[in-house]
Amino acid sequence: MKVFVSVDMEGVSGLTDPEEMRAPGRGYERGCELMTADANAAVRAAFDAGAAEVVVADSHGRGRNLRADLIDERCALVRGTHQPMHMGEGLDASFDVALYVGYHARAGVPLGVLNHTWMGREIHDVRLNGAAAGEIRLMAAYAGTLGVPVGLVTGDAAACAEARETLGAVPAVAVKEGRDRYAAVLVPPPRAQRMIYEEALRSLRDPSGWRRLDVDPPYTLEVEWSSTAIARSCAVIPGVTATGPRSTAFTSGDYTEIVGLLGVLALIAGDVGCTGRHYG
């Protein structure tokens, strides 16, 4: 069995503050350790379930958060900036299943801890073939185009609800429950990591709970931006059309173009938006 583990940070156990999500914020280094510990819980479960190979992708921000010196030495770690497939970097059709650890709810979801979609301030909404799409749907759809199902989602309660709304009865572990965007009732990390390990192990031993998201091509990505300036700048890219004062759309028969383009649009939006902060 070959297992892909994509690890974001906002849904990691113990974390609630934007400062914990980026350097040199207060608590960031500890946040990286907690992120690595949640990842290791899933990796350990994968090997205990009989996996021959586990690839872990650092899927937060610039991809330099997981502690390479603390990650389970049996896995392969995908790390670094400007990865073409971003949160899905390293995934291909040879994998049996994908696990999404530390994921969060899409932008605007009530009580979603650190909720956003792809960017903290610049993106108000994303839709994939007309359906509201957070990072869970976007990445599950990418896996689906490769024939790979999702076997686990961990994060806050809102992220787990979004995963089940998107994928059906997929195994999920809620490590915290939001009280506001920056506040939550937490499962203490040691217990949360045991929960991740136990559910990942159960899921990987029983593939009946795995769920694949199949989205029919062509794929249309619609983005509502925070400003007219971002939308106008993004619409300069060939193939990207303005669909409103603050919105753009792009259609392709190749889902890798959807993921890759979203990363390029985010670079433009970050530059045009000139925001020095994240998550609003």
- The DSSP bridge partners found for residue 58 are 7
pLDDT tens for each residue of the chain, 280 residues long: 999 999 999 999 999 999 999 999 999 999 999 999 999 999 999 999 999 999 999 999 999 999 999 999 999 999 999 899 999 999 999 999 999 999 999 999 999 999 999 998 999 999 999 999 999 999 999 999 999 999 999 999 999 999 999 999 999 999 999 999 999 999 999 999 999 999 999 999 999 999 999 999 999 999 999 999 999 999 999 999 999 999 999 999 999 999 999 999 999 999 997 654 555 4
What radius of gyration, in Å, describes the C-alpha atoms of the chain? 17
Whether 124 has a binding-site annotation, put simply, is no
Q: Which residue has the tokens 């937060």?
A: 60
**pLDDT of the residue at 274:** 60
Residue 229 lies in a domain: no
In angstroms, the CA 271 to CA 100 distance is: 29
Instruction: Given the residues 86, 116, 124, 278, select the one marked as catalytic.
Output: 116
Residue 265 phi, psi dihedral angles, 5° rounding: -60, -40
Residue 129 lies in a domain: no
**pLDDT of the residue at 273:** 76
Domain housing 92: 2-120+136-209
Burial of 26 (0-12, 13-18, 19+ CB in 10 A): exposed
Residue 222 lies in a domain: no
Residue 187 lies in a domain: yes
Whether 82 has a binding-site annotation, put simply, is no
The per-residue pLDDT for range 150-204, each reduced to its tens digit, is: 999 999 999 999 999 999 999 999 999 999 999 999 999 999 999 999 999 999 9
- The DSSP bridge partners found for residue 174 are 155
**pLDDT of the residue at 279:** 53
Residue 241 lies in a domain: no
Residue 37 phi, psi dihedral angles, 5° rounding: -65, -40
Whether 48 has a binding-site annotation, put simply, is no
DSSP designation for 253: S
In angstroms, the CA 251 to CA 76 distance is: 33
Residue 81 lies in a domain: yes
CA distances (Å), origin 149, targets 15, 47, 95, 115, 276:
27, 18, 9, 24, 37
User: How many degrees, rounded to 5, is the angle at CA 159 between CA 96 and CA 273?
Assistant: 105
Whether 86 has a binding-site annotation, put simply, is no
Residue 240 lies in a domain: no
Residue 238 lies in a domain: no
CATH number of the domain enclosing 173: 3.40.50.10780
Whether 38 has a binding-site annotation, put simply, is no
Strand locations in the chain (E)? 2-7, 53-58, 76-78, 97-103, 123-128, 131-132, 150-156, 172-180, 183-186, 219-225, 241-244, 247-252
Q: In total, how many domains does the chain have?
A: 1
**pLDDT of the residue at 139:** 98
Q: Is 116 a catalytic residue?
A: yes
**pLDDT of the residue at 185:** 98
